[in-house]
Amino acid sequence: MAETLRLAFVGCGAIARRHLDGIHAFGDRVHVTAAIDPDLAKAQRIAGETGAAVFGSLTEALAAGGFEAVDIMVPHDLHEALAIEALRAGQHVLLEKPMAPTLEACQRILAAARAAGTVFMVAENAQYWPEIVKAADLIAAGAIGNIITARAAFTHRLDETFFGDARPWRFERARTGGGITIDGGSHWIRPLRMWLGEIDAVVAVTGHPLRQMEGESLVRSVLRFASGQIATFDALMHDGPMAPEPWWRVTGTRGELLIEGGHTGGLQLYDTASPAGRRVAEPQGYAKSFGPEIDDFASAVLHGTPLRAAPEQSLGELRTAFAIYRSAASGRWEKVWA
C-alpha cells in the first residue's frame, strides 16, 4: 500500500498557499507533483517550493500523469468542469468549497464521483478548525449544559490576500454565485451545524456596503434549526476600519463558549467555576485547519478511512446561503431543504 500521495494543485492562487502550508505542517506523506494554472507565474511559484511540474491546464497535466489526486482551488464557476474532468480520469478529488454555485451542478459532480468510485471530498476547513473542534467536544461533554442559542459573526475588513487582483473574481456574482454568504460565510455556518444540528429555515436581509462587489457584503439573518433552537448568522465585509468582535458565541444553560475574533482567536469558557471566563484552547485559528483537512483526504485515499464529513455535508451551507438569498428577496422565512 502506498504511503505517499502524489497531488496536483489545480489553481495556484491565494488559497493554494494555505493548502501548501497545511501539507508542510503534517509531515511528508503528501507530495505536490504538479502545479496547474493558466497564469504560469503562479504555478511556477508553487513549483519553486515543491519541485512540481508546471502546466497551464488540467487536460495537459492529466495527459502527462505523475499524480493520483487533484486539489482544485479555482473560482466557483470552474468547479464543475474541472472536478468532472478529474473524476472521469480516475483521479481522487479534493474540491474547495462551495462544491459549485448551483445545486444542479453539485448533483452532476456527485454523480460523476459515484461513477468514478474514487475519493471525493469538499474542502470545508471549518470542520477541522482547532477551536471549533474543541468547542464541539466541550458541548458534547455537557460543559455548557443544553444549548439555548448561538451566534456566528463573520466580520472582516477587505483582505488583499484574496481580493488583491486588478479585478478580483470574488467581486463578480456570475463567478461566485452570490457574495460573502456563499463564499466565506460557509466557514461560519458549518460550525453552527456541527454544534446545533441541521438548519430548517432562515429569515434574512442583505446589503452592499462594499460597492465594488456585485454580491452581498452584508447579511443579518436568523437561523431556525430542526431542533427548534435559534441562532444568528451575521456577515459584514467592507474596506473601512472595524472593531474586534467575537466570531462565535454559544450560550447554554450552564455557561457560554466564545471564540475570539480574528484568524487566530482562542476559545473561552464561561461557567460557574469561571464566571469571568478562562481560556480552554490556545489560539490556533483558521490557518491551522488546513493541515488536518488535507491529512483527512490523504488518509481516505491511502488507507480508505472515512472522511470526517462526506461531500454531501457541504450542501447544507450552500442551501443555507440560497435560503438567505431567497429570504432577502421575499422578506419571509425560507426553508433550507425545500
Q: Tell me, what CATH number does 70's domain have?
A: 3.40.50.720
Q: How many domains does the chain have?
A: 2
Q: What is the pTM of this model?
A: 0.95
Kindly report the number of other CB atoms within 10 A of residue 249's CB atom: 19
Task: Say yes or no: 148 and 114 in one domain.
Answer: no
Q: What is the CATH number of the domain that holds 218?
A: 3.30.360.10
Task: Say yes or no: 75 and 190 in one domain.
Answer: no
Q: Are 125 and 286 in contact (CB under 8 A)?
A: yes
Kindly report the number of other CB atoms within 10 A of residue 91's CB atom: 24
Q: What is the mean pLDDT of the chain?
A: 95
Whole-number pLDDT of residue 15: 94
Q: What DSSP state is assigned to residue 29?
A: S
Whole-number pLDDT of residue 1: 61
User: Tens of pLDDT along 178-187?
Assistant: 999 999 999 9
In the chain, what percentage of residues exceed pLDDT 70? Answer: 98
How many whole angstroms separate alpha carbon 310 and alpha carbon 317?
A: 13
Last residue of a domain, one of 74, 103, 123: 123
Boundaries of domain holding 222? 127-289+318-335
Q: What are the grid coordinates assigned to 83, written together?
A: 472536478
How many whole angstroms separate alpha carbon 301 and alpha carbon 29?
A: 12
Q: Are 190 and 317 in contact (CB under 8 A)?
A: yes
253-277 burial by CB neighbour count: b if 16+ within 10 A, else e?
Answer: eebbbbbbbeeebbbbbbbeeeeee
Whole-number pLDDT of residue 261: 83
User: Tens of pLDDT along 298-338?
Assistant: 999 999 999 999 999 999 999 999 999 999 999 999 999 98
The verdict on residue 309 lying in a domain is: no
Q: What are the grid coordinates assigned to 253, written together?
A: 444553560
How many whole angstroms separate alpha carbon 174 and alpha carbon 9?
A: 24
How many whole angstroms separate alpha carbon 307 and alpha carbon 48?
A: 31
- CA 55, 59, 63, 65 dihedral sign is positive
Task: Say yes or no: 247 and 189 in one domain.
Answer: yes
pLDDT classification of 65: cutoffs 50, 70, 90: very high
Whole-number pLDDT of residue 241: 86
CA distances from 21 to 32, 39, 291 (A): 12, 21, 7
Q: What is the DSSP string of 198-255?
A: -EEEEEEEEE-SSTT-SS-SEEEEEEEETTS-EEEEEEEEESS------SEEEEETTE
Q: Are 40 and 56 in contact (CB under 8 A)?
A: yes
H/E stretch holding 319: helix 315-330
Last residue of a domain, one of 71, 88, 123: 123
pLDDT: which is higher, 238 or 164: 238
Task: Say yes or no: 196 and 273 in one domain.
Answer: yes
How many whole angstroms separate alpha carbon 267 and alpha carbon 251?
A: 14
Residue 207 C-beta-side C-alpha neighbours within 13 Å: 11
In the chain, what percentage of residues exceed pLDDT 90? Answer: 85
